[in-house]
């Protein structure tokens, strides 16, 4: 009788929810009151690799999760990591997040979010494990390709529309990995020591934007430790910053296997534990009771050692997330592998490609001409949607660079040679080089397509790269190729910076990232000139590793001593370091060429003196003075050169991407707030804005500034 009554109440509640879609605490509490202690505890940990249980007795559903962040991962078995071998889990592979960041186009990020959210929804996922916004601190981090670069402002601007797009589908985004998971080496235990100032100014802003502006419904705690505590159950990060200061009302999910202790997990802000060891000798229903938030948690609540209100808070959050997702009957049904998603994937890929060098207008190549083009390099044919760790995808299709270029350049004769191999058991390396040099010498044009890949030790989870240089002896190969045919352009496929000792000897370089399903088409769009490149680097390329700030300070700074690491570079990460210390990068943050030329002029602020709280309008004229149509990203940086405390020479605080036909001019405005000029002051544990003179830099990359203007803040 009681059970039937409960069910009735619950169904009345669900019906109400469908109509009003309003989520009130009273409604959540009314469900909570129907749950037994056992049921509540069960909701706080996994029931399978990628789901957490509901309460069948009351019709409370399970929650299903999926990686993330570039597409919806193939189905994985219930209780091991093998793929299930379904045939209906093929999806659209979107470009990696470094590429999305390189578009500097927040509205495109929203389309990306909407599309991937639709695919998640179609695949019946309630939580998408992404996006990732860990800051690019070192080019060796094996997971940089999953993140949005080295600048907190860029990552903040790009992550918010992605999250909103995903969540429009009634699918929760799960922003990750909170926080300071900036390397893969020793990721499960490395104890990060970083100043409060660097934490607040560099490592937290993108997470804060994801929560406060993007309103992400969930967040993933990271594997590493921070000041001696694991981040998936971290009192300061989760209880204080996330749940108190940022008023986060969603769910904290552990990284898979990132939970280490019942008491800490219970008290320090974790809501759902995922990926912990299970008791495989027990039935499906009880195997996961071995989780830290399983039986031992239940016992501690029963004995009163942990207050039931702690448990209730977790369950309330989980129920709230369910109402936003699976219990929202008004959410759309989603769709998958449709033309629009391919279009978005291609658009992001095309807009993200960065033209780094283009001597004598090497690119674009004319597709009408009967050229012989030698495509050299394994990455012309290697799948880049597979590998890389948890972001690996089962793409419905993936157009390789070779296929894309062949299709677009159908008047040309395309000859391919692998040139190098990533397979250590592979063949005769010497004959690969010989064949490549022969083909290159016969061609009008050589395109070398190399870079990194998704193999372990390259751009791949759970390990870091060992060095900045290209693997598999590619530097040698490029050098030999340019000797037999100097008409050579290089296309780098990677999610990380690499060194380029051959740079002065090649005509052109394109940074092409991991581009997903539409990779080859997007590359063909750019090299044919069908699209004009407009991508900008979301991180700096150092000349050598020791020029990067994390590495400059030696092993204790990166990778640490095996237990602890000290972020001695503090706030001077990426271009902040290069700029402030006058260490010229190979290519700077925000840099990227075009097939046309833009002129930025008439830079003005609306006032010369501002009061705290004012907003500032920076206006400028932008003119396309070249012969091709195209887009330019104008960037606004601020600085305080007379500062008594250490500050970066420049910090990005605004940008705008504008499309202009050849010859056209426009006037644009970028708005800043006086708070953009403040710094995190450890002496008051808060942001502080000092009065005085500041510089506003406007340009088209961090090291190409058209004009600096001064303003005063009262």
Q: Which residue numbers are catalytic?
A: 255
Min dist CB 537 to ligand BGC, Å, is: 24
**Which residue lies nearer to ligand BGC by CB, 129 or 318?**
129
The structure tokens listed for 82 are: 């093998």
Q: CA–CA separation, 545 vs 498, rounded Å?
A: 9
If 0-12 CB within 10 Å is exposed, 13-18 middle and 19+ buried, where does residue 714 land?
A: exposed
Beta bridge partners of 220: 253
Residue 552 backbone dihedrals phi, psi, to 5 degrees = -55, -35
Token pair 């605004």 is found at 654
Q: At what angle do helices 429-442 and 474-484 cross, to 10 degrees?
A: 30
Tokens found for residue 305 = 């050692």
Residue with smaller CB distance to ligand BGC, 176 or 320: 176
Closest CA to 356 of 576, 506, 581, 141: 506
What's the min distance (Å) between Cβ of 593 and ligand BGC? 34
Distance of CA 518 to the CA centre of its chain: 19
Give DSSP secondary structure letters for 156-194. Answer: HHHHHHHHHHHHTTT-EEEEEEETT---STTTTT-EEE-
Q: Which is nearer to ligand BGC, 162 or 256 (CB)?
A: 256
Least CB distance from residue 390 to ligand BGC, whole Å? Answer: 4
Q: How far is the CB of 695 from ligand BGC (least distance, A)?
A: 39
Cite the DSSP H helix spans in 393-473: 401-408, 429-442
Closer Cβ to ligand BGC, 129 or 713, answer by number = 129
Specify whether the CB–CB gap between 609 and 711 falls below 8 A.
yes
Q: For ligand BGC, give the closer residue by CB, 390 or 531.
A: 390
Contacts with ligand BGC, residue ranges (CB under 6 A): 67-68, 129, 176, 255-256, 390
The stretches of 454-588 forming alpha helices (DSSP H) are 474-484, 519-528, 549-552, 575-580
Q: What is the closest distance, in whole angstroms, from the C-beta atom of residue 660 to ligand BGC in the complex?
A: 39
**Distance of alpha carbon 582 from alpha carbon 649, whole angstroms:** 10
CB 84 within 8 Å of CB 73 = no
Give the residue with the Cβ less far from ligand BGC, 128 or 202. 128
13 versus 256: smaller Cβ distance to ligand BGC: 256
Least distance (Å) from ligand BGC to the CB of residue 259? 12
């Amino acid at each position: 009788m009681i059970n039937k009554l409960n069910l009735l109440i619950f169904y009345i509640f669900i019906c109400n929810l469908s109509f009003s879609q309003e989520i009130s605490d009273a409604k959540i509490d009314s469900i909570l009151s129907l749950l037994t202690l056992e049921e509540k505890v069960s909701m706080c940990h996994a029931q399978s690799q990628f789901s957490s249980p509901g309460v069948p007795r009351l019709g409370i559903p399970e929650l299903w999760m999926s990686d993330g962040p570039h597409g919806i991962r193939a189905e994985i078995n219930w209780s091991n990591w093998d793929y299930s071998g379904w045939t209906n889990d093929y999806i659209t592979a979107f470009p990696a997040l470094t590429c999305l960041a390189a578009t500097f186009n927040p509205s495109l990020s929203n389309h990306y979010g909407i599309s991937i959210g639709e695919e998640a929804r179609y695949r019946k996922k309630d939580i998408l494990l992404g996006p990732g916004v860990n800051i690019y601190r070192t080019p060796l981090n094996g997971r940089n390709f999953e993140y949005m670069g080295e600048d907190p402002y860029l990552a903040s601007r790009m992550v918010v529309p992605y999250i909103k797009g995903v969540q429009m589908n009634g699918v929760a985004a799960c922003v990750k990995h909170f926080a300071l998971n900036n390397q893969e080496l020793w990721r499960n235990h490395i104890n990060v020591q970083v100043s409060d100032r660097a934490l607040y100014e560099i490592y937290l802003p993108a997470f804060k934007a994801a929560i406060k502006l993007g309103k992400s419904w969930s967040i993933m705690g990271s594997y590493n430790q921070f000041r001696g505590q694991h981040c998936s159950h971290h009192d300061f990060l989760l209880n204080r910053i996330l749940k108190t200061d940022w008023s986060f009302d969603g769910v904290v999910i552990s990284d898979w296997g990132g939970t280490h202790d019942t008491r800490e997990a219970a008290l320090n802000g974790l809501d759902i534990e995922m990926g912990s060891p299970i008791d495989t000798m027990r039935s499906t229903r009880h195997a996961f009771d071995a989780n830290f938030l399983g039986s031992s948690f239940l016992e501690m609540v029963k004995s009163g050692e942990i207050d039931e209100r702690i448990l209730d808070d977790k369950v309330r959050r989980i129920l709230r997330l369910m109402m936003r997702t699976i219990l929202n009957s008004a959410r759309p049904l989603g769709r998958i592998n449709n033309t629009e998603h391919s279009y978005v994937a291609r658009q992001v890929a095309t807009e993200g490609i960065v033209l780094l060098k283009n001597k004598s207008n090497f690119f674009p190549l004319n597709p009408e001409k009967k050229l012989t083009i030698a495509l050299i390099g394994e990455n012309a044919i290697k799948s880049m949607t597979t590998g890389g760790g948890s972001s690996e995808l089962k793409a419905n299709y993936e157009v390789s660079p070779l296929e894309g270029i062949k299709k677009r350049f159908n008047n040309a004769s395309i000859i391919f040679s692998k040139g190098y191999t990533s397979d250590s058991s592979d063949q005769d390396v010497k004959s690969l080089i010989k064949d490549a040099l022969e083909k290159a010498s016969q061609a009008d044009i050589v395109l070398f397509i190399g870079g990194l890949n998704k193999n372990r030790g390259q751009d791949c989870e759970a390990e870091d790269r060992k060095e900045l240089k290209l693997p598999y002896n590619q530097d040698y190969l490029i050098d030999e190729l340019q000797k037999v045919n100097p008409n050579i352009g290089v296309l780098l496929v990677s999610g990380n910076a690499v060194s380029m000792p051959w740079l002065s000897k090649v005509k052109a370089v394109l940074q092409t990232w991991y581009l997903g399903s539409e990779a080859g088409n997007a590359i063909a769009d750019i090299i044919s000139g069908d699209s004009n490149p407009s991508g900008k680097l979301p991180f700096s390329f150092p000349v050598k590793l020791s020029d990067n700030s994390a590495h400059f300070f030696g092993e204790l700074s990166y990778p640490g001593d095996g237990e602890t690491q000290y972020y001695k570079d503090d706030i001077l990460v990426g271009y902040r370091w290069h700029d402030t210390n006058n260490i010229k990068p190979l290519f700077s943050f925000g840099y990227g060429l075009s097939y046309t030329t833009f002129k930025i002029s008439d830079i003005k602020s609306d006032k010369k003196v501002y009061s705290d709280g004012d907003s500032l309008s920076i206006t400028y004229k932008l003119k396309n003075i070249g012969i091709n149509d195209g887009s330019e990203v104008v960037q606004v940086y601020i600085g305080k050169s007379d500062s008594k405390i250490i500050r970066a020479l420049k910090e990005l605080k605004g940008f705008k991407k504008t499309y202009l036909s050849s010859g056209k001019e426009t006037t644009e405005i970028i708005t800043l707030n006086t708070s953009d000029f403040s710094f995190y002051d450890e002496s008051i544990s808060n942001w502080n804005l000092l009065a005085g003179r500041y510089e506003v830099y406007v340009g088209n990359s961090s090291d190409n500034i058209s004009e600096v203007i001064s303003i005063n803040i009262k």
